[in-house]
Structure 1
Amino acid sequence: MSRSDVLVDADWVEAHIDDPKVVIVEVDEDTSAYDKNHIRNAVRIDWKTDLQDPVRRDFVDQAGFEKLLSEKGISNDDTVVLYGGNNNWFASYAYWYFKLYGHQDVKLLDGGRKKWELDARELVSEVPTRAKTEYKAKEQDKSIRAFRDDVVEAIGKLNLVDVRSPDEFSGKLLAPAHLPQEQSQRPGHVPTASNIPWSKSANDDGTFKSDEELKELYQEAGVDLSKDTIAYCRIGERSAHTWFVLHELLGQENVKNYDGSWTEYGSLVGVPIELGDGKSA
């Protein structure tokens, strides 16, 4: 797999912006960003209301994903290009969903909204209309999703990559500093995990660093790229970005995203936890 299989640049998007078989999708942490302006012909997926189960702590099921994409006018054979703010934070999260449910041709706009705006490219407020489709999702690809038992079993054996901030990793914070400090019962990290904040894989303009720079980033942190890897964060969205880097850009075969992440693990009874100084909690 090459970068061109999973990434497109802004020139490519502009050249294909009116192609009916290319669907541009914006996914942002700030779910109101799309309402202000967006790339022409882009549709929106709301990570809170569209990608989460409305009742259970889980994400949308197969039938729900089919309904969502059908309503957005996305067909199984469409090329889907995802983008968003903050280094494609939540766009990468959505990318992982698309792969989980078997969509073949999905890519990220390298640099996302940030690079697009830095280049002063066109943004509009008009919302496009796409005809409804009959999208058919596949069964979940469990090879890219980790569960809590997988994480416990991986301690001391596989690569565990904690992609949160150093303060979250050490136990000083439960969540990113700009969010409420809630949800998990205990702070800290999974023992033997390496702390490699997800945003270190991006350049200042939001584009991904080179393969050589990315390999160096992980190897210097002690990650053996020949080993199986589980990435986690707080709710699975930042670790989806790291999953994209390791699996899609660097071609590491066995990489899983633990979407339960710290909000689940940090509330489990009896599992091992470490704080920043290595003291068990």
Structure 2
Amino acid sequence: MADIRTAIFDRKTEASAETGEYLSASSGYAYPDVLVETDWVAEHLSDPAVRLIEADEDVILYEVGHIPGAVKLDWQVDVQDHINRDFIDQQRFAQLMNRWGITNDTMLVFYGDKNNWYACYSFWLFSMYGHTKIKVMNGGRTKWEAERRLLTREVPHYEACVYHAQAPDETIRVFRDDVIFGLKNPGRRLLDVRSQQEYAGELSPTAEYSHEEAQRSGHIPGARNVPWNSAINEDGTFKSAEELRRIYSCQDITPDNEVVTYCQIGERAAHSWFVLAKLLGYPRVRNYDGSWTEWGNIAGLPVEK
């Protein structure tokens, strides 16, 4: 099938000889190798050691057009266990990777819409399953499309392989009881990354995201509010480390504290987890993926507005 766009910008920047990422030397990120730029992706479209994974909030975008060679991660289908309201187990994760022709040595690069909202969510989830060769394309679909780079509707086919999955490492995840237990912990910071209106309880819990229902509005007592998209530039890329540190420190979200991020179902919170843990190097950051959909529906749990 014909490509939707064929223009690829020829940008020449210095590349790291070891990792191949195009990143500003002045970014100041703690782990700059978790990001790759669009230039790098364009040069690795035919690299068999790299697998592009598109993870969108709007799951039909992939069919509209995607980066050549990219597979589609449907967050509503591929990684959710709807019976247990949890993520897929170790065996099903291995089956997913086998289906995409991914081995334990394959470099995975996530990208998507909404400023890489679900791309970072996927990065967090795949981190739990122990796949270490994972990166996010800085700027996501927004930047790729703005640069009029190649998109296609052709769905790639990869030969099935054998992937050895690990049991989930949930040290980067936090559950409801731990959140309750930590409400009076002075060394913990709860970070609500939803909009200011959601945080203040000024929006109906289902006003914006009908699939994320909660009976009550507001926020968890003591939580600070830094909306997830505060970390993003207009072009969809991440702000510099200096800017990010300033944004979070204004709400006393500092690396000496344990930080627990949450939103409505944990996806936006995973984006902020990525910023804090990977770009800024905060040593103790966990994502409460039960988030407000769980907290706002449980009788007896305190709420602030």
* TM-score of the alignment, normalized to the shorter chain, above 0.5: yes
SS of the residue corresponding to residue 218 of structure 1 reads: helix
Q: Could you tell me whether the CA contact under 8 Å between 1:81 and 1:109 is conserved in 2? A: yes
Q: 1:194 is matched with which residue?
A: 224
Question: TM-score, length-normalised on structure 1?
Answer: 0.94
1:153 Cα offset (Å): 1.9
Counterpart of 2:240 (choices 210, 224, 237) is: 210
Q: Quick one: percent identity of the two aligned structures?
A: 47
Q: Determine the C-alpha separation between the residues in 2 that align with 1:71 and 1:239.
A: 28
Q: 1:27 is matched with which residue?
A: 55
| 1:103 maps to amino acid | H
Q: Determine the C-alpha separation between the residues in 1 that align with 2:49 and 2:161.
A: 12
Number of residues of Structure 1 aligned to a counterpart in Structure 2:
275
Matched, 1:184 2:202: no
Matched, 1:50 2:78: yes
Task: Show CA shifts across 1:17-75 (max 9, x none).
Answer: 11101000100011110001000111111000001103221111111111111111111
Q: Which runs of 5+ in 1 are unaligned?
A: 276-281
Q: 2:26 is matched with which residue?
A: none
Matched, 1:91 2:119: yes
Q: Which stretch of the first structure deviates more once superposed, 23-32 or 50-59?
A: 50-59
Q: 2:261 is matched with which residue?
A: 231
1:176 Cα offset (Å): 6.9
Counterpart of 1:74 (choices 89, 102, 110) is: 102
Q: 1:223 to 1:77 in 2, by over 3 A?
A: same
1:182 Cα offset (Å): 6.2
Q: Which runs of 5+ in 2 are unaligned?
A: 1-28
Matched, 1:258 2:288: yes
1:178 Cα offset (Å): 3.4
Q: Determine the C-alpha separation between the residues in 2 that align with 1:175 and 1:29.
A: 18
Task: Show CA shifts across 1:95-119 (max 9, x none).
Answer: 1111010001000000000000111
Matched, 1:164 2:194: yes
Q: 2:32 is matched with which residue?
A: 4
Matched, 1:141 2:176: no
Q: 1:120 to 1:182 in 2, by over 3 A?
A: closer
Q: Determine the C-alpha separation between the residues in 1 that align with 2:245 and 2:85.
A: 34
1:195 Cα offset (Å): 0.6
**Structure 1 stretches of 4+ moved >3 Å:** 1-4, 174-178
| 2:277 maps to amino acid | H
SS of the residue corresponding to residue 86 of structure 2 reads: coil
Counterpart of 1:112 (choices 122, 125, 140) is: 140
| 2:76 maps to amino acid | K
Question: TM-score, length-normalised on structure 2?
Answer: 0.87
Q: Determine the C-alpha separation between the residues in 2 that align with 1:72 and 1:174.
A: 39
Q: Could you tell me whether the CA contact under 8 Å between 1:173 and 1:181 is conserved in 2? A: no
Matched, 1:155 2:183: yes
SS of the residue corresponding to residue 287 of structure 2 reads: strand
Task: Show CA shifts across 1:120-178 (max 9, x none).
Answer: 11111111111111112211112100000111122242010000011111112244743
Matched, 1:219 2:249: yes
| 1:203 maps to amino acid | N
